[in-house]
């Protein structure tokens, strides 16, 4: 009986490896099929291909997860089936992570860097909505998080941590932010936080202690 079980296990592992090859072939076929689809305008073709790609990525993730759970039962190596590290959430081509450890702005940026990222550069409404959802999912009571935006070099000239200038601001205009309020901080307010509830930003003292949103590029699956 022991031999039979061993044999079955070997078969299962062989199946797993064959499955992996089939998986790769299937993906190639699907990609080819998508590319060969005729569309009347280039714009239509682009949106069609985007849809197909989105569908195939989901298919790939499902197959990849199946493969990994099978690989787990033998000695075959598993696969990373997501485009973001564990505990990070994905929006488009980027991965984000909420870290509840509270630090000043500069230490927060360094801590994001230690994990291979940087403080979040939030440019779309979808990213703000997802940060809000994620903070709720974590049951986060706290609503202010550092993002990678500062005007510490030149007062009033807001720059992201990748040195790009701010083009699509989400300031809390109801509270007249950014106000560089000197009463709370004699040196002014040169670093930005997101208020996850209202999904808007405020400037505040860079020395204050807040949790943070880190960001890194997603690693494409295929
Ligand atoms: Ca300022
Ligand atoms: Ca302010």
Query: In the prediction, which pLDDT does 89 show?
Result: 94
Instruction: Please name which ligand lies nearest the alpha carbon of 187.
Output: 1
Q: How far is the CA of 178 from the centre of ligand 1 (A)?
A: 8
Establish if 81 belongs to a structural domain.
no
Q: Same domain, yes or no, for 208 and 119? A: yes
Query: In the prediction, which pLDDT does 82 show?
Result: 78
> Model-level pTM?
0.71
Establish if 211 belongs to a structural domain.
yes
Per-chain mean pLDDT for the chain: 86
Establish if 222 belongs to a structural domain.
no
pLDDT grade, residue 172 (50/70/90)? very high
Look up residue 205 and give its DSSP letter. -
Q: Same domain, yes or no, for 105 and 165? A: yes
Q: What is the pLDDT of residues 193-208, one digit of tens each?
A: 999 999 999 999 999 9
* pLDDT at residue 153 tops 60: yes
Q: What is the mean pLDDT of residues 48-52?
A: 90
Establish if 15 belongs to a structural domain.
yes
Q: What is the pLDDT of residues 76-115, one digit of tens each?
A: 887 777 789 989 999 999 999 999 999 999 999 999 999 9
Q: How far is the CA of 167 from the centre of ligand 2 (A)?
A: 19
Q: Same domain, yes or no, for 144 and 66? A: no
Q: Same domain, yes or no, for 151 and 207? A: yes
Q: Same domain, yes or no, for 8 and 58? A: yes
Domain range for residue 30? 2-73
* pLDDT at residue 53 tops 90: no
Determine which of 116-125, 153-162, 176-185 has the lowest per-residue pLDDT on average: 176-185
Establish if 173 belongs to a structural domain.
yes
Determine which of 36-45, 69-78, 102-111 has the lowest per-residue pLDDT on average: 36-45
Q: How far is the CA of 204 from the centre of ligand 2 (A)?
A: 5
Q: How far is the CA of 179 from the centre of ligand 2 (A)?
A: 5
Q: What is the mean pLDDT of residues 36-41?
A: 69
For residues 91 and 125, is the Cβ–Cβ distance under 8 A? no
Backbone angles phi, psi at 192, to 5 degrees: -110, 140
Establish if 60 belongs to a structural domain.
yes
Instruction: Please name which ligand lies nearest the alpha carbon of 156.
Output: 1
Tokens of 24: 């790769």
Instruction: Please name which ligand lies nearest the alpha carbon of 151.
Output: 1
Q: Same domain, yes or no, for 68 and 101? A: no
- In order of 72, 85, 199, the CA distances from 78 in angstroms are 7, 15, 38
Query: In the prediction, which pLDDT does 16 show?
Result: 55
Helical axes 2-36 vs 42-73, angle rounded to 10°: 170
For residues 202 and 101, is the Cβ–Cβ distance under 8 A? no
Backbone angles phi, psi at 176, to 5 degrees: 55, 35
Query: In the prediction, which pLDDT does 113 show?
Result: 98
For residues 111 and 117, is the Cβ–Cβ distance under 8 A? no
Q: Same domain, yes or no, for 59 and 99? A: no
Q: How far is the CA of 166 from the centre of ligand 1 (A)?
A: 14
Query: Count of domains in the chain?
Result: 2
Query: In the prediction, which pLDDT does 83 show?
Result: 87
Q: How far is the CA of 165 from the centre of ligand 2 (A)?
A: 19
| Residues surrounding ion ligand 2 at CB below 5 Å | 179, 181, 189, 202-203
Report for 1-5, 71-75, 87-91: range of highest mean pLDDT: 87-91
* pLDDT at residue 180 tops 60: yes
Pairing of strands 144-150, 118-119: unpaired
Residue with tokens 């790609």: 53
Which of 22 and 84 is assigned the larger pLDDT? 84
């Amino acid at each position: 009986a022991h031999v039979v079980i061993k044999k079955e296990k070997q078969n299962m592992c062989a199946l797993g490896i064959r499955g992996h090859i089939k998986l790769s072939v299937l993906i190639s076929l699907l990609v080819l099929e998508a590319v060969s689809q005729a569309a009347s305008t280039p714009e239509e073709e682009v949106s069609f291909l985007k849809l197909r790609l989105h569908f195939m990525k989901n298919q790939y993730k499902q197959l990849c997860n199946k493969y990994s759970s099978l690989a787990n039962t033998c000695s075959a190596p598993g696969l990373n089936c997501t485009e973001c590290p564990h505990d990070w959430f994905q929006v488009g081509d980027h991965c984000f992570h909420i870290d509840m450890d509270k630090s000043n702005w500069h230490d927060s940026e360094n801590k994001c860097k230690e994990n291979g990222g940087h403080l979040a550069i939030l440019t779309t409404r979808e990213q703000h909505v997802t940060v809000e959802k994620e903070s709720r999912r974590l049951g986060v009571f706290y609503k202010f998080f550092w993002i990678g935006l500062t005007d510490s070099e030149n007062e009033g000239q807001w720059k992201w941590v990748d040195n790009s200038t701010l083009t699509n601001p989400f300031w809390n205009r109801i509270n007249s932010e950014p106000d560089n309020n000197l009463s709370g901080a004699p040196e002014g307010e040169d670093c930005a936080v997101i208020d996850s509830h209202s999904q808007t930003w405020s400037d505040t003292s860079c020395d204050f202690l807040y949790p943070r949103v880190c960001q890194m590029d997603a690693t494409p699956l295929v």
